C-alpha cells in the first residue's frame, strides 16, 4: 500500500498526520510535499484539536500546491485525523493475544 494511502506511518509508527512534516516524507520525484512551481519543500500545518485541519503551503511562491500528489498528502492526513478523533484503533501493529 502506498505510504500516502495509509493512516499510519510504517517508518515512524504513528498517525500519518503526526510525522508528515518529517523530511523523509518529501518525495521530489512523485511531487509529494513538493512545489513544482518553485522547486521547494511544501510545509504542512496540522491542527490536531477536534475536528482537526490540514493545510499545505509553500514559502517560496506563497501558493498552496494543488497537485495529485499533494492532494494525496492532504487526504492521508485528514483520514488519519478522523481516525484518531473517531477512536478507531489501527490494527497495523496489534500483537495477538496468544
Among the ranges given (39-43, 68-72, 80-84, 85-89), the one the predictor scored with the smallest mean pLDDT: 85-89
Hunting for cell 505510504 — which residue is that?
3
pTM of the model as a whole = 0.79
Q: Which residues contact 98 (CB under 8 A, 6 or more apart)?
A: none
Do 58 and 35 contact (CB within 8 A), yes or no?
A: yes
pLDDT at 94 > cutoff 60: no
Using CA atoms, how far apart are residues 35 and 29, in angstroms rounded to an integer? 11
State pLDDT tens for residues 31-64: 999 999 999 999 999 998 887 889 999 999 999 8
Pick from 5, 59, 11, 6: which is nearest to 35 by CA?
59
Amino acid at each position: 500500500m502506498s505510504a500516502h494511502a495509509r493512516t499510519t506511518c510504517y517508518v515512524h509508527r504513528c498517525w500519518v498526520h503526526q510525522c508528515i512534516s518529517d523530511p523523509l516524507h518529501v518525495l521530489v520525484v512523485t511531487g509529494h510535499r513538493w512545489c513544482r512551481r518553485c522547486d521547494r519543500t511544501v510545509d504542512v500545518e496540522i491542527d490536531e484539536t477536534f475536528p482537526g485541519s490540514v493545510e499545505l503551503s509553500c514559502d517560496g511562491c506563497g501558493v498552496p500546491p494543488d497537485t495529485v500528489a499533494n492532494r494525496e498528502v492532504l487526504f492521508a492526513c485528514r483520514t488519519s485525523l478522523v481516525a484518531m478523533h473517531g477512536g478507531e484503533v489501527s490494527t497495523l501493529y496489534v500483537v495477538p493475544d496468544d
